[in-house]
Amino acid sequence: MPQPDGPSISAWQIVLVGMVALGVAMGIGRFAFTPILPMMLAGGVTDLATASWLASANYLGYLVGAVWCTFQPWFWRRLGWTSAIDGPALVRLGLAATALLTAGMALHLPGLWPLLRFCAGVASAVVFVYVAGWCLAQLAQRQLPEMGALIFIGPGAGIVLSGVMASAMVALHGSAGTAWLVFAVLAAALSALVWPVLRASDRVPTPASVQAIVSDPNPAPAHRAAEVALLAIGYGMAGLGYIVSATFLPVIARQAIPASAWLDLFWPLFGLGIMLGALIASRIRSASDLRWRLLVCNLVQALGIGIGLWWPSSAGFALGSLLLGLPMTATTYFAMQEVRRIAPRHSAAMMGLLTAVYGLGQVAGPPLTALLLARNSSLDRGFDLALLAAAVALVLGSAIFGTMTRLFPVRHA
């Protein structure tokens, strides 16, 4: 991607930076583990219980990174340092760390893997919070807020690409170590693509300096804390709800329908659903209450899980994977826009808070799955119970969003 001639960066350059950065941080840094996991299991380098803890280490790192993003403004103020955080620089640092940490997984050092996955989670959270906040603020400044949804195509594109590449490596009898190395090179190449624009972005306003432009001039409502808390809890339920499938989908499919020719395509279908959902979200321009959109997103994901449970076939898993992915990043986009509405002057910190609670839900998913697998005589039964718990969490999240529309009605200008 060429560096702009002047200080101005176009809306499409902003969108492309967001897409690529999220594709690297989320599609590779976090979710490349999912299509590689069957290769790790087949190669005997890990087992399901250990894999669950490796996944949790990554999600815990994501949580820690999100908490740091939430509280770092307070931390710097306590130290008397009031300069604005250089978001693009942190994004560059996170992208470089993602490539290096992914490469580290290629080393046959199982004792080091939890730390590598933890650090990759921290890096992905930092990239997510700062690139999403920067992109949304820049697009709002240009009066193009709807384009913000397009940046969330990135994770889906990363998942599709990693899934297809993993399938090819399985067909070629490649090892898990080779797969990690290939994804590290891919992460580095994609990061290099947006690096010049991220450097050029230092010459344009950062999210902190455009807060006055995008902030609501009205005083904050007295119930803002309760509204943010409920939004965070509902969003956290979405994190728990999708993560079981997002971590174990290829393994679950191989357990349920081992003879299916579609086994290596369910994960790319999940990524394709994410991309379609982001495109749909970008086309919704009505001023409807975002909580209703979040409610529908949760129910669609619950339906996707239910289809896989009640119709364990190639068609059922294909449809379920598509429905599970469809609202995933749309949920994130709507939640980030909603918290910007509720707390416009503290949007970066509140985005970090939501991401942290979402991370809590994600951290809980793999250990819960491991516990249910250990307490049941068959893998099928254990996975079914884990998926059922995930669906229940999504329905509870929908109930919270519905309750919010009653307790805190939105007044549109």
Write out the DSSP string of 338-363.
HHHHH-GGGHHHHHHHHHHHHHHHHH
| Residue carrying structure tokens 């884990």 | 386
Question: Which of the pair, 378 or 230, is modelled with greater confidence?
Answer: 230
> Per residue in 49-66, is it b (16+ CB within 10 Å) or e — as a string?
ebbbbbbbbbbbbbbbbb
Ranges of H-type helices in 79-112: 87-104
- Cα(33)–Cα(200) distance, integer angstroms: 32
**pLDDT(203) > 90:** no
Q: What is the CATH number that goes with domain 11-212+221-406? A: 1.20.1250.20
Residue type, 378: S
**pLDDT(2) > 60:** no
Specify the pLDDT at position 351: 78
- Cα(27)–Cα(407) distance, integer angstroms: 36
pLDDT confidence band for 205 (50 / 70 / 90): very low
What are 220-251's pLDDT values in tens digits? 455 778 899 999 999 999 999 988 888 888 88
pLDDT confidence band for 106 (50 / 70 / 90): very high
Token digits of residue 292:
């209703």
- Cα(56)–Cα(121) distance, integer angstroms: 10
pLDDT confidence band for 76 (50 / 70 / 90): low
What are 286-341's pLDDT values in tens digits? 667 899 999 999 999 999 999 988 888 888 989 999 999 999 888 988 998 898 88
- Tell me how far the alpha carbon of residue 216 is from its chain's centroid: 27
- Tell me how far the alpha carbon of residue 401 is from its chain's centroid: 20
- The least confident of 51-55, 334-338, 344-348, 373-377 is 344-348
- Cα(193)–Cα(21) distance, integer angstroms: 10
**pLDDT(366) > 80:** yes
Token digits of residue 274:
């994410």
Question: Which of the pair, 80 or 405, is modelled with greater confidence?
Answer: 405
Q: How many CB atoms lie within 10 A of CB 318?
A: 19
Specify the pLDDT at position 211: 37
Q: Are 215 and 344 in contact (CB under 8 A)?
A: yes
Identify the CA nearest to 28 among candidates 129, 148, 117: 117
What are 352-361's pLDDT values in tens digits? 788 888 888 8
What are 11-37's pLDDT values in tens digits? 899 999 999 999 999 999 988 998 898
- Cα(387)–Cα(395) distance, integer angstroms: 13
Mean pLDDT of the chain: 84
Ranges of H-type helices in 259-378: 266-283, 290-310, 314-325, 328-342, 347-374
